[in-house]
A and B are shown apart, each in its own frame.
Chain A
Amino acid sequence: MTENRHQKLGLSDEEVLDMYRTMLLARRIDERMWLLNRSGKIPFVISCQGQEAAQVGASYALDREQDYVAPYYRDMGVVLSFGMTAKDLMLSGFAKAEDPNSGGRQMPGHFGQKSNRIITGSSPVTTQVPHAVGFALAAKMEKKNFVSLVTLGEGSSNQGDFHEGLNFAGVHKLPVIVMVENNKYAISVPLEKQLACEKVSDRAVGYGMPGYTVDGNDPLAVYEAVKGAADRARSGEGPTLIETVSYRLTPHSSDDDDRTYREREEVEEAKKKDALVTFKAYLQEVGVLTEEKDKELEEEMKSLINEATDYAEEAPYAEAESALKYVYAEDE
């Protein structure tokens, strides 16, 4: 008999089912993006596959009505949790005018939506870390109760902005949670060529904050770690570094071929630990997800994504001349 872990964390059956639904939605949208790319309809895909559990687990541990997130390019699970829709993501994939992230200006995966407190991001990695620290600084100055969550890859933890941002947050005890989604590869370069220390979380001590490494395939473990960090942050105890370890199940992007640098066996092995498989099994074992409910969910995803794809494909592009807009504030 499998132990019911989510109740211990204070999560209801409905809540864990909703987490699973969001993970599934992210995965299915991502898979559709690849199909669209390979059929020549969208030029670029960058995947969340393998990291949905960490993304959704962390997001659900936050107050999704007031906290801010500074996601990185794989964080489809985060932005879906924070209110972005399948349609929004498809509009971004097709670079259409209605895309809430950028109106079709940025590549897919460059998230941002002020109404849902998703902080706009760019392609140079790790620049979002000081931004999230800045939001946390604002929370402290304005005496607001929100925290900010920033995510990044393990390769990015080598950037100066990681060091500068965490140090700043540590010195000023700011309510920010830094979550490194360690998927073992920075494009082609494996973890051991990125870090000389064993774990990314080992670095936390240098910034005067606690550092934890958790199983990134287990949304409940991530939920627990982030929940603890958020409580710490809200009570004025400062930042936390959390490393979630999982595996990147796809090539780096639609332009990458991962067969040139890693063995198929390794990928196949990782797929066995895929949270979409393991968390589903858990939910079935504890009786939250029935066979019937699962089918229903898959059907729902299919029609939702079909509808979103059709809508986005049909939607108009922004006018070419609108490329000239919004360099600076405009009177409208």
Chain B
Amino acid sequence: MPVMSYIQAVTQALHEEMERDEKVFVLGEDVGKRGGVFRATDGLYDKFGEARVIDTPLAESAIAGVGIGAAMYGMRPVAEMQFADFIMPAVNQIISEAAKTRYRSNNDWNVPMTIRAPYGGGVHGALYHSQSVEAVFANQPGLKIVMPSTPYDVKGLLKAAIRDDDPVLFFEHKRAYRLIKGEVPEDDYTLPIGKADVKREGSDITVITYGLCVHFALQAAEKLAEEGIDAHILDLRTVYPLDQEAIIEAAKKTGKVLLITEDNKEGSIIGEVSAIVSENCLFDLDAPVKRLAGPDVPSMPYSPPMEKYFMMNPDKVEKAMRDLAEF
């Protein structure tokens, strides 16, 4: 099975879907000739031409809005926001339009569109190239938000997103792009949106997280295994709507639950996960549900010590996991 990087899996999925379905096209800033500032759309312009790999004007609301229009017509646009931080001008289109189209038209119209955006910190990106923005969208029924952790999941979930009949926000961790590599089958496969995935079986503590933090947790788990602490790790994969069943099952398995996000703590995805656990698992809980998250400051500063202080890392995760295990 070929081993590829996280971003190569993105490119691979786009390539395969454009080949499979002529209605699929890519639009965004610098996605054409340049192949994307992160190179996620590398090679697509040469292969599929400028009509299907569209360099748009620098205007995010139009990228989203034009994509929505084309999707309503029956196309399968894959829009790229250059950084998740820059999705803000398109929020009206995404929340007022894409999310509500099916509902407001009583199932008459729908928006089969995927919006990809690189998110996350640890890349010296400072305030506006580091943010996790999923919580902004995670109380908008009608949207689906996918945040994969591995190249395998990237390919299967991006293909599923493109084929989905509803709008999907597909957030890719930019630090994972070249850091995370893994086996990715060459064949055509999709993974179910809305399903979490157990990335490690364990019996002492349950870690529920998503994105790059999954790797931090897995690394920490290997270390802790040497101390006899056996961690169960659930990768949410889809952060909205949440896979309640999997969350409940994972929480009940050990009764000690640690929730991790790179985002600011208050109002983040994991707060909702915590609510699901406390609503459903009281009599299986053996410890308070713990949250490990970024501090409640607007975003990640540029200076390396401050960035490091904000950013999640395996040591912080390991410490929190050990602390809960010893409770």
Contact = CB atoms under 8 A, between A and B. Distances in A.
B69 A138 contact: yes
13 contacts: A102-B106, A103-B106, A105-B104, A112-B108, A114-B105, A120-B72, A120-B104, A134-B73, A135-B69, A137-B75, A161-B62, A329-B102, A329-B166
Contacts of B61: 130, 160-161, 164
Interface string B58-81: 010110111111111111010000
Contacts of A138: 69-70, 73-75
Contacts of B109: 112, 114, 119-120
Interface stretch (B8-16, B90-98, B277-285, B311-319): B90-98
A303 B241 CA distance: 49
B96 A124 contact: yes
Nearest to B93: A127
Nearest to A123: B96
Interface string B35-75: 00000000000000001101011010110111111111111
B174 interface: no
Contacts of B101: 120
A261 interface: no
Contact of B71 (A113, A123, A134, A171): A134
A161 B54 CA distance: 19
A106 interface: yes
Contacts of A112: 104-105, 108-109
A165 B64 CA distance: 10
B285 to A, nearest CB: 30
A102 B105 contact: yes
A105 B72 CA distance: 19
Contact of A328 (B51, B75, B93, B102): B102
Contacts, number: 144
A123 B92 CA distance: 11
B92 A129 contact: no
A327 B194 CA distance: 14
Given A131-B66, A327-B102, A330-B107, 8 more contacts: A106-B104, A119-B72, A120-B108, A124-B96, A127-B92, A138-B73, A142-B75, A329-B165
A171 B63 CA distance: 13
Interface string A319-331: 0000001111110
B97 A131 contact: yes
A101 B107 CA distance: 10
Contact of B108 (A70, A114, A167): A114
Nearest to A124: B96
Contacts of B92: 124, 127, 161
Nearest to B194: A328
A127 B96 contact: yes
A83 to B, nearest CB: 14
Contact of A134 (B51, B52, B59, B69): B69
A120 B104 CA distance: 8
Contacts of B106: 99, 101-103, 105, 326
Contacts of B69: 70, 119, 130-138, 148
Contact of A127 (B65, B75, B103, B165): B65
Interface in B101-139: 101-110
B92 to A, nearest CB: 6
A196 B103 CA distance: 38
B142 interface: yes
Contacts of A136: 69
B129 to A, nearest CB: 22
Nearest to A133: B66
A188 interface: no
Interface string A11-54: 00000000000000000000000000000000000000000000
Contacts of A250: none
A141 B52 contact: yes
A114 B74 CA distance: 12
Contact residues on B (Cβ < 8 Å of other chain), bracket:
35 or more
B89 interface: yes
Contacts of B72: 119-120, 131, 134-135
A133 B107 CA distance: 22
A122 interface: yes
A100 interface: yes
B267 interface: no
Contact of A164 (B65, B68, B141, B164): B65
Contacts of A114: 105, 108-109
Contacts of B86: none
B89 to A, nearest CB: 7
Contacts of A100: 108
A137 B70 contact: yes
B108 A165 contact: no
Contacts of A165: 62, 65-66
Contacts of A227: none
B177 interface: no
B142 A327 contact: yes
A168 interface: yes
A110 interface: yes
B73 A102 contact: no
Contacts of B210: none
Contacts of A120: 72, 101, 104-105, 108-109
B51 A164 contact: no
Contacts of A135: 69-70, 72-73
A131 B165 contact: no
B295 to A, nearest CB: 32
B117 to A, nearest CB: 18
Nearest to B109: A120
Interface string A94-117: 000001111101100010111000
A90 to B, nearest CB: 17
B112 to A, nearest CB: 9
Contacts of B173: none
B48 to A, nearest CB: 11
Given A127-B97, A160-B89, A167-B59, A326 B102 contact: yes
